[in-house]
Structure 1
């Protein structure tokens, strides 16, 4: 950490300008920016102009996609406020943290920080612990881990999905587990589960929601005359200068018309003058089917593109095994295949709540677009029908041939550039079996009965047994971010199932209450660290951060306590390879700097801390479209497979839950709890959405943020009036699996018949009492019903009743 050479002028600018903002809005003070720092100074009798600060670079590394830069102002060993990235052209890319990120010091310096290792003394979920020494924690974990492996085998060890923090030296338990013979693996993630499962059958096995081959950079939308966003709101999900909110602002100024298809008028819609197309949640595929109908009947599909690059649009392009069976996409749309229903706009209107006339107009605009840019967020696929819905949205650029050309996209979310540096290697996992990350609860409850055909087990026909030892680092996905919290609670009460649970966290999030051993983690600002740029903004970067202050109590960086556990197992030398965390970071950085032209040297990055470089813009499948023979897709045919012969053949060998369906083409399937499932007891659809005060549940414990951006249920005035609910009323939302209490936001910005609840709020219920969640965590009411193909979290498919509390 070095003393800033421009401390006074920079601090005066930041505190002065943001203090002025606070006069106009109390939000400035509550977000922990400059006004809060002035309060700290006043308490010491000092002023910003006279008190020297040191500056420590760091990052906000929660999983919003940004990893924005922070410069901590440190006084007397304590963080007092944050600046952000001010390096480079202010009119170009600066990885500037949003107000949420700048409030990170409220979390870092929270009086609720975990400070000591603890062991559980009450029932799981009670949150009752007693302090123990690190040595006892190391020995207890090592003994239990070895015992579980000796008794049940390595497949009984599991690393729970978590996205709370990511850096080059984080998430190290897999490295240790692999040194002991491995652990039960997992695949996909909660963000893109259904898309990860469905898209390979359309665009090939290498298609990923996280690449720059199967999607275009958001900057390409500047060259489009029509941009259609399905459930995609950068202003909420990807705020900050290192997120695409910056690029999207340029698209608004330079690109064509932007239409947002969403069940609510999200923050991105409200900041743009074009059009919001309100749609019933979970019915995007029905809208696309009706648009496809109009393109077909009006001879507006790009037949040359479909014949050259695609399989399965019509009978002529079907594989030999499916010819003559009316399985093509055109047969489905025109009512001569599958359900024998013609997908006219009149069919779609009552499903989607979009008038038939507007669907026809939209189809005409799509047909006449010279460059069409279609992008879907990850909300539409987070339904029980998400595998098909995500493929269906991609049909708009496919049908029009708007792929691989300037100003176009493939229908996927925007491309991601990747990162510059790697992380401490985890090694090879010797255990071949794996489960979908959403299936861990079933693997705890009845793992011995889980099979490939029924439960999506990979690498084996069936599991050999259940999960007995689980490791959870920096994640709240045991309860808060997992479905049906009440069910999770009940299953974890039975200690004969999951025998041992280790949780590592910084605060007592709801999932931490279920730990058998709870370990206090140091935050990035409390250790030397390194991380890439995030994955949302299209550039390449790295930040080597400094320790700004000491961690509270006995909290340690992960690398240190993992080394302690490894030592008890006799694996310290193998785990560390004789290196400290700082030496690992240097080695990883030098490996990249030696291979990538333009990166600073190690000595230079220690001085400047933050480095950014431009990444070449991407156009999805440009190489494939330019020369499909030389650059085939990773599908069996090498083409875009609108009809997937591979998927059709796979369906026959699967055991699906009652009512679940999988189709080899992108259809509209209502899915579990989807369109048509509402009834007298649960007459409203409900969906979750990302909230600007949190990244999933990260920042959920910051009181100032909860005051500024309250947890509120969005409800249309028509639905509110029928229930005598007024704005600000406390309401009860009940589903078949749980009940929560939440404040009402009565607004026409949400479609009638559907309510919206921000996801990520911290669960707060008396689990020995009525279990009504006063924290309004939506996963209190989401059923645990893995989706048909991915076996993933279709949690946006939900039916409820709302009453005034």
Structure 2
């Protein structure tokens, strides 16, 4: 029920309960007048936010106005083939988000300083003409590598996606590519270097065969809330296996725990690798590995001991294969995992990675580390998962790889109930999308390094900056960024590290000369646009979407039907890009003779005939219009998936230079030798071995620990997905934005529950309440990421020497420092101070 309707009903009921007053027009003064029934229609839409699930929602409307939104309540809701795909609080608040006061209503042009948020309305004709002429000017003057479509995931459309802008930009001669993402940049590279995909772990159905579950930074109950999400699969899996022992390791006591775990081990942020190495020491030094898993390591892995690397080097030297021969200089048998962990051979001066050594770093006691090792060694089928939070640190690549090692040391990967340390694999149905056309530009930069590309893109290289697609390591990119298209992206300012720093770069419009933002709301990033384009919301859109990338084991499709016409002057991305293409003289090439309805009909037919969708229930009907009436099509795959089954049990090599799981990564060793790093930055190096890297602003960084005694870690809240939904007041009421602090630390600082505090780093200051709770480890502050950056309009300065961010955006505090290998974001590595405001 709508809150307004509830209040009306409450008033009516209280009126009926009185003896006098509340007169009606009838002769019966105490009779509540009948409310005439409201005729409603309903259509199906979806919440396409970047949580990993595109939950279907049922949208009710009357007379062109959305009246309410409900979650999927079809089917008998039995887990498996028929369970409901219930949207969380975010999806259920879509009416409020659609009618939000900050909706962008018309195209606009900037009139003030960049970032001030001062705009004037313009026509669609002027907007399209300006963008088309500026695109052509910039391409002619600076080259197409000076144009970037920024990474953004504010909306996972199916058809009317950011591919529309890809088409426009490619019809203009192309644009600079990006690789990686804010969520998984380092884990993707770490997993690939080891020999698998970062989401290719055993699926959660496989937990039925497990007796031990260990989650390192794994929190599906808050990350994946969908009724067809990983969080629901996880709850079902542990409920259906009451003998399963669940151990969670995290700086914060998350909602994935709350009594569902057997043990919680608080750990200091960024020290997961040290914990893993302490466990590995127990497994190796005790002789357990030699007895139980050495034959597995010899057969399926390389790099465990000196002999395996010596054998690999000899094999490559004798192969005659140029690609293999190229790796030979980087294969050093002395750099093997066993010697590193035991502190022998080449590593004798560094010392053994004992539980005692690890405990001093990670904060998990020596006895608990030994207990963890014992449980892993004694488990019949240990299922270990390393969550993505572990990868968003300054040492994220090696932290992930160090944690992956534990699964392989068991020698049981490939068996029922065992995983490889990666995130679980997912089920999915497939939808066809419109092509973005071919991009003539071959070079790409890391998604995270666009500020560098603005400042010094002309000199960026593969050797220094991880540029891909150049002729060699030292060929420069050759162009600075002069145009940015931020499509459903709040990563321009809000989600990027050092929001104050990037704001300063963007304010200077002599550097990046054109910023176009396409969005539905006036986000902090949209305020930095030169041209603002108002997008239609999901409830105003016809579309065909699948279940996205982390929807768990249930796959589904949603045939969306617009509940209302586009509000104000908003246009779909397809239509707005058609206008721009037409102004460029490329209209026919863009549309290929089809309007939006024509494209949807064509793409639906491709989707309907896709063999991957053959098991959808109900079967996909003949036309898109019929599919829209049905709305939701689902398919549950009830077969356990075991990680690396095709390799361990099927004999298919993995995608590494050796064709085996690489405990010593040849690609990382090569890049560590060939790339250029900054010796003044602690932890800026690449090793072929997975190893704990002490980094700048890490737990053991003495340079910052005195002035900034607390480690700050971000987390995902249930009230936002990244920064999406921050502007919905209902969700701000339901999910508190406060910095979490352990009671021992709060007592030391003289802070009590709800006190308004300032938290600051070298980069900025934020102001918000403190939540005093034992659910966060001592010495650690935790803050939900995604709050909207809002420098105090009065210009009030904080202890950092910057204007205080009263919005409480964590990226006001985070450091811009690309990681060594993936050139990804280290946004959980922060040293901060806190005091009463």
Question: Under a length normalisation based on structure 2, what TM-score does the superposition of the two structures give?
Answer: 0.89
Q: SS state of the match for residue 54, structure 2?
A: coil
Match in the other structure for 2:412: 402
Cα distance in 1 for partners of 2:628, 2:653 equals 43
Cα offset, 1:95, TM superposition: 1.1
Cα distance in 2 for partners of 1:650, 1:111 equals 50
Cα distance in 2 for partners of 1:106, 1:231 equals 32
Match in the other structure for 2:691: 667
Contact kept, 8 Å, 2:671 with 2:686, in 1: the verdict is no
Q: Which one of 373, 378, 403 corresponds to residue 388 of structure 2?
A: 378
Q: Over residues 579-621 of structure 1, what are the superposed CA-to-partner deviations in whole Å (9 max), with x where a residue is unaligned?
A: 1222212211211212322441233423311101123542111
Query: Cα distance 1:402–1:492, how it changes in 2: closer, same or farther (>3 A)?
Result: same
Contact kept, 8 Å, 1:589 with 1:602, in 2: the verdict is no
Cα distance in 2 for partners of 1:40, 1:589 equals 43
Q: SS state of the match for residue 479, structure 2?
A: coil
Q: Over residues 670-689 of structure 1, what are the superposed CA-to-partner deviations in whole Å (9 max), with x where a residue is unaligned?
A: 22321212422111111111
Cα distance in 1 for partners of 2:35, 2:557 equals 30
Cα distance in 2 for partners of 1:582, 1:43 equals 46
Unaligned runs of 5+ in 2: 13-31, 314-327, 798-802
Cα distance in 1 for partners of 2:673, 2:343 equals 24
Cα distance in 2 for partners of 1:494, 1:402 equals 56
Contact kept, 8 Å, 2:72 with 2:85, in 1: the verdict is yes
Q: Which one of 499, 517, 522 corresponds to residue 531 of structure 2?
A: 517
Cα offset, 1:418, TM superposition: 3.9
Unaligned runs of 5+ in 1: 1-14, 16-33
Q: Over residues 154-175 of structure 1, what are the superposed CA-to-partner deviations in whole Å (9 max), with x where a residue is unaligned?
A: 1011000001001222102111
Contact kept, 8 Å, 1:633 with 1:639, in 2: the verdict is yes
Match in the other structure for 2:197: 208
- The number of residues matched between the two structures is 765
Cα distance in 2 for partners of 1:401, 1:602 equals 50
Match in the other structure for 1:187: 179
**Residue 292 (str. 1) matches residue 280 (str. 2):** yes
Matches within 5 A, 1:258-273: 258-273=246-261
Question: Under a length normalisation based on structure 1, what TM-score does the superposition of the two structures give?
Answer: 0.92
**Residue 116 (str. 1) matches residue 136 (str. 2):** no
Match in the other structure for 1:143: 133
Query: Cα distance 1:642–1:555, how it changes in 2: closer, same or farther (>3 A)?
Result: same
Query: Cα distance 1:326–1:585, how it changes in 2: closer, same or farther (>3 A)?
Result: same
Q: SS state of the match for residue 316, structure 1?
A: helix
The worse-fitting range, judged by mean Cα deviation, of 331-340 and 722-731 is 331-340
What is the root-mean-square deviation in Å for CA atoms of aligned residues? 1.8
Q: Over residues 416-455 of structure 1, what are the superposed CA-to-partner deviations in whole Å (9 max), with x where a residue is unaligned?
A: 2344112111122110110000001110111112111001
Q: Which one of 306, 309, 318 corresponds to residue 315 of structure 1?
A: 306
**Residue 367 (str. 1) matches residue 393 (str. 2):** no
Match in the other structure for 2:519: 505
Q: Which one of 645, 654, 657 corresponds to residue 675 of structure 2?
A: 654
Match in the other structure for 1:633: 654
Contact kept, 8 Å, 1:385 with 1:672, in 2: the verdict is no
Q: Over residues 185-226 of structure 1, what are the superposed CA-to-partner deviations in whole Å (9 max), with x where a residue is unaligned?
A: 0001110011122222111xxx3334xxx3211221232110
**Residue 330 (str. 1) matches residue 352 (str. 2):** no
Cα offset, 1:527, TM superposition: 1.9
Query: Cα distance 1:773–1:585, how it changes in 2: closer, same or farther (>3 A)?
Result: same
Match in the other structure for 1:26: none
Cα distance in 2 for partners of 1:324, 1:632 equals 23
Match in the other structure for 2:271: 283
Match in the other structure for 1:709: 735
Match in the other structure for 2:443: 433
Q: Over residues 282-309 of structure 1, what are the superposed CA-to-partner deviations in whole Å (9 max), with x where a residue is unaligned?
A: 1111110010000011222211110110
Matches within 5 A, 1:85-104: 85-92=72-79, 93-104=83-94
Query: Cα distance 1:795–1:266, how it changes in 2: closer, same or farther (>3 A)?
Result: same
Q: Which one of 615, 633, 647 corresponds to residue 624 of structure 1?
A: 647
Cα distance in 2 for partners of 1:323, 1:522 equals 54
Q: Over residues 347-368 of structure 1, what are the superposed CA-to-partner deviations in whole Å (9 max), with x where a residue is unaligned?
A: 0111111110111111010001
Match in the other structure for 2:222: 236
> Whose Rg is larger?
2
Query: Cα distance 1:101–1:573, how it changes in 2: closer, same or farther (>3 A)?
Result: same
Cα distance in 2 for partners of 1:504, 1:444 equals 20
**Residue 156 (str. 1) matches residue 171 (str. 2):** no
Cα distance in 2 for partners of 1:288, 1:46 equals 69
Q: SS state of the match for residue 581, structure 2?
A: helix
Q: SS state of the match for residue 269, structure 1?
A: coil
Contact kept, 8 Å, 1:184 with 1:433, in 2: the verdict is yes
